Homo-oligomer: A and B are copies of this chain.
């Protein structure tokens, strides 16, 4: 019986989950979203606004701001390798996001006792300006993201 310190380390678990989720997530990759960083209960993702994300005002459609934040939420709330799903989420739009913006979403766990979680995600542009606030509620379901990992 050998201890397996690699699997027990929460940071390494989170990174393995992040790699597996990212590889499988066609939607996130299709939007050009990058996974910059992941750890226990947190994740940081980046997306450059593209022409096909612009609405009639020539600015980023709020749905794509939400989608970036929602992906960050998903990576963060699955980072313990216990499969979790979003139950609900909300977003506050604080500033218009122009066609050439590069957005970063930073997710952190606010509460995680039991199987329910609350995560806050901040959306900032390439100058660090806060352009959106997102709060998501997750629920753990049965199963692991990476079976047998931890």
Residues of A whose CB lies within 8 Å of any CB of B are: 20-21, 24-28, 30, 51-56, 61-64, 66-68, 70-71, 74, 85-95, 110-111, 113, 116, 118, 130, 133, 135, 137, 139
Contacts and interface: CB of A to CB of B under 8 A. Distances in A.
Nearest to A24: B56
A56 B94 CA distance: 29
B66 A51 contact: no
B92 A137 contact: yes
Q: Is the interface of A mostly helix, strand, loop or mixed?
A: mixed
Given A63-B27, A66-B70, A137 B137 contact: yes
Number of copies of this chain that the complex holds: 4
B88 A111 contact: no
A88 B123 CA distance: 14
A111 B92 contact: yes
13 contacts: A25-B56, A27-B52, A27-B63, A30-B52, A61-B71, A63-B64, A63-B70, A87-B116, A90-B91, A90-B135, A92-B118, A94-B113, A135-B135
Contacts of A28: 55, 61
